[in-house]
Structure 1
Amino acid sequence: MTDAPERVHPTDLELAALISSKICHDVIGPVGAIYNGLEILNEDDDEEAQAYALSVIRNVTEQASARLQFARFAFGAAGSAGALIDLGTAEQISRGFIGQGKHKLVWKGIAGHMAKDKVKLLLNLIAVAVTALPRGGEIEVLMQGTIETPGFVLRCCGTAARPPQHLGAFISGEDVPPLDALTIQTYYTWRLAETAGMNLSIVKDGDDVLLSALS
């Protein structure tokens, strides 16, 4: 029997640096678009151009705000150790993160306040589920069990639905990709599940992909 590959984790400082890179990667695009819109306002007196610039600034400011709010809860402390987070707030943050683009969020959660680390896991699972739908589609969030011992099942339904990028590798420990700003969220999701004592799995259900975290 072949021994399981040894897990090599980043140091705390390396993990912090990688997550910081991830957050910067996510917000630099919208911030750059805001700057470009402001330049148009300063340099172009055409009313149509100014109206377009204001529209762009408004949209990307909302996008940047939603991504930062999501990062605050998905990666940040969001309260002291053992803190509880309202699942209504988690839903609102998730909807802001998904936005009005090619992905749609269907939330079938339970009401109440859940332990911070489990909510962080759920938020990161939603972000990872987006990579299962490269052409867009519907992410259905289902919760089972209780507030204290929940289970999460995310159904990813859309054209060309596939297993979330890199998650299977982190679960199995085989062909694990190098950690960078693009893979750190998947790695962090796996680590959160491990800390919460929940098992991650990826299952194909017809054309859909099921992403689960169960105790």
Structure 2
Amino acid sequence: MPTLTLDGLDLAALLCSRVCHDVISPVGAIVNGLEVLEDDQDESMREFALELIGKSARQASARLKFARIAYGAAGSAGASIDLADAESVAKGMFADEKTKLEWSAPQALFPKNKVKLLLNLVMIATSAIPRGGLITVAVTGDGEAPTLTLKAKGPHARIPAHVEDLMAGAPESGTVDAHGILPFYAGLVARAAVMAVRFTIEGDEVTILAEPAKSADPEAADPEAAVAADVVAADEAGPALA
């Protein structure tokens, strides 16, 4: 099946939809909490509302910080991202969740697209264990030729439906919607980083392995990926993702 070429505007729109999907729930909870504070004088309800606002604000902030690196330009003109920053935003996504994250990586600057790929694979790993569990991330090797190993273990673990076709840029339906944009985008970033990604499953554990592609032919990287890697640079366009 030929690789699907997604128009830049459609790609940007779908990624924006993904970011909005991730933050609309905690932002809505903040609004609800504020309404309780305005209308309810019961002290216990006001205390509950303040706790809800605080928790939801932390969630929204964590998701925006994650999106800033995983989908955006990371607010930097450089070509590298500190793995410590990637660890921080990844762990922020799981602070109040049923899924736990363990991270093992060197304290080093890695090429931007390789770090973006790692963070997108973390989110794909999350969808492999819909009932929660443990995700372990291990980064070995140097920035030019790293090995990224993610293991997602939990009840009813499975390789997410269509994820391999979407990452290959060849969805079975021939189109991509908001539900499939994350693995499709991860595939674009993987090709830009000249990395090959494989999925395996054994029992209740899914393993995602990303390694340098055997062929380093520059044409192997989708030319659209150079735009895709930075297409949602909203953090540079305004303060919303700062």
TM-score range, shorter chain: over 0.9
- 1:214 corresponds to which letter in structure 2? E
Once the two structures are TM-superposed, the CA of residue 79 in structure 1 deviates from its matched residue by 4.2
| Count of aligned residue pairs for this structure pair | 211
Q: What is the alpha-carbon distance in structure 2 between the residues aligned to residue 57 and residue 180 of structure 1?
A: 31
Could you say which residue in structure 2 is the equivalent of 1:212?
Answer: 209
Q: Which amino acid aligns with 1:211?
A: I
Could you say which residue in structure 2 is the equivalent of 1:150?
146
User: 2-side partners of 1:65 and 1:79: how far apart?
Assistant: 16
Which residue of structure 2 aligns with residue 75 of structure 1?
71
Structure 1: how far apart are the matches of 2:171 and 2:138? 29
Instruction: Note the C-alpha offset of 1:175.
Output: 2.0
Partner of 1:9, secondary structure, is coil
CA distance in 2, matches of 1:109, 1:169: 28
Report the more deviating stretch, 194-203 or 165-174. 165-174
Map residues 40-59 of structure 1 onto 2, 5 A cutoff: 40-59=36-55
Task: Determine if contact 1:169/1:176 at 8 Å carries over to the other structure.
Answer: no
Match for residue 194 of structure 1? 191
Alignment RMSD (CA, Å): 1.5
**Hey, what's the Cα distance between the residues in 2 that align with 1:136 and 1:177?**
31
Q: Is the 8 A contact 2:30 2:57 kept in 1?
A: yes
Matched residues in 2 for 1:165 and 1:95: separation? 25
Q: Quote the offset at 1:178 in angstroms.
A: 3.6
Q: In percent, how many aligned pairs have the same letter?
A: 44
Letter aligned with residue 129 of structure 2: L
* Aligned positions of 1:118-129 closer than 5 A: 118-129=114-125
Task: Spell out, residue by residue over 1:21-72, the C-alpha distance to the aligned partner (whole angstroms, 9 max, x if none).
Answer: 1111111111111101000000000000000000000000000000000000
Greater relative CO (CA pairs within 8 A, separation 6+): 2
List aligned pairs for 1:41-120, cutoff 5 A: 41-80=37-76, 82-120=78-116
Q: Does 1:166 align with 2:162?
A: yes
TM-score (norm 1): 0.93
**Range with bigger deviation, 204-213 or 122-131:** 204-213
Task: Give the equivalent residue in structure 1 for 2:220.
Answer: none
Change (3 A) 1:155 1:176: farther
Question: Which secondary structure state, in structure 1, belongs to the residue aligned with residue 128 of structure 2?
Answer: coil
Q: TM-score, normalised by structure 2?
A: 0.83
Residue in 1 that maps onto 2:238: none
User: Measured at CA, do residues 94 and 208 of structure 1 come closer, stay the same or move farther in structure 2, by a change above 3 Å?
Assistant: same
CA distance in 1, matches of 2:74, 2:20: 19
Equivalences for residues 170-181 of structure 1 within 5 A: 170-171=166-167, 173=170, 175-176=172-173, 178-181=175-178
Q: Distance in 1 between matches of 2:204 and 2:90?
A: 24
Contact residue 74 and residue 124 of structure 1 kept, 8 A: yes
Q: CA deviation at 1:174?
A: 5.5
- One-letter code aligned to 2:29: A
The CA deviation at 1:202 is 0.4
Which is further off, 182-191 or 60-69?
182-191
State the alpha-carbon separation in 2 of the partners of residues 174 and 31 from structure 1.
32
Deviates more, 1:123-132 or 1:6-15: 6-15
Task: Indicate the SS of the match to 1:63.
Answer: helix
Which residue of the partner structure matches residue 182 of structure 1?
179
